[in-house]
């Protein structure tokens, strides 16, 4: 499935479910982390569980992305930075902005909240950016544009 792009607007972006999942999970993480940072005694167990679930999902996404990238490397010139960070022409600008933007938000929220509530369950949030990275890699491995391997 190819990505069709008209300017910067998405016309029929392949992998839109991955993009939406990344944005949605980032929003859920941010909301839960703000609540847990403000009320650490009441929200510590649910937010720690959520963070661990997101981390586990990120590991699964990362491994699926890596496996798909290895499979595609037989025919395409795949590089890890292109797959996970969507470097260059691998992804349209709008896709790259959404996926890497969600990843960046996860990193910033995790660092800030963990710094505010050091040594509490909120610090589990530092694991969550694995999900953003894994989803970006999953998109890149499945739908990214890479040059064909020379014979």
Domain ranges of the chain: 32-143
Instruction: Kindly report, residue by residue over 26-83, the tens digit of the pLDDT.
Output: 999 999 999 999 998 888 889 999 999 999 999 999 999 999 999 999 999 999 999 9
User: 37: Cβ–Cβ under 8 A, 6 or more apart, which residues?
Assistant: 113, 116, 117, 122
Please choose, from the candidates 106, 89, 80, the residue with its C-alpha nearest in 3D space to the C-alpha of residue 144. 89
pLDDT attached to residue 7:
42
Please choose, from the candidates 67, 69, 68, 77, the residue with its C-alpha nearest in 3D space to the C-alpha of residue 151. 77
Residue 134 CA: distances (Å) to CA of 7, 60, 103, 117 = 27, 8, 9, 26
- What global pTM score does this model have? 0.88
pLDDT attached to residue 5:
41
Instruction: Kindly report, residue by residue over 93-139, the tens digit of the pLDDT.
Output: 999 999 999 999 999 999 999 999 888 889 999 999 999 999 999 99
């Amino acid at each position: 499935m190819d990505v069709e792009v008209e300017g910067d607007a998405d016309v029929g972006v392949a992998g839109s479910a991955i993009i939406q999942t990344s944005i949605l999970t980032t929003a859920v993480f941010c909301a839960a982390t703000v609540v847990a940072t403000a009320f650490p005694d009441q929200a510590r167990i649910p937010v720690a569980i959520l963070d661990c679930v997101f981390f586990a999902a990120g590991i699964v996404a990362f491994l699926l992305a890596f496996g798909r990238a290895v499979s595609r490397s037989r025919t395409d010139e795949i590089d890890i930075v292109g797959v996970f960070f969507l470097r260059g022409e691998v992804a349209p600008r709008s896709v790259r902005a959404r996926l890497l933007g969600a990843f960046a938000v996860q990193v910033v929220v995790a660092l800030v909240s963990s710094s505010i509530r050091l040594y509490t369950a909120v610090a589990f949030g530092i694991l969550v950016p694995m999900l953003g990275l894994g989803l970006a890699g999953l998109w890149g491995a499945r739908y990214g544009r890479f040059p064909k391997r020379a014979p």
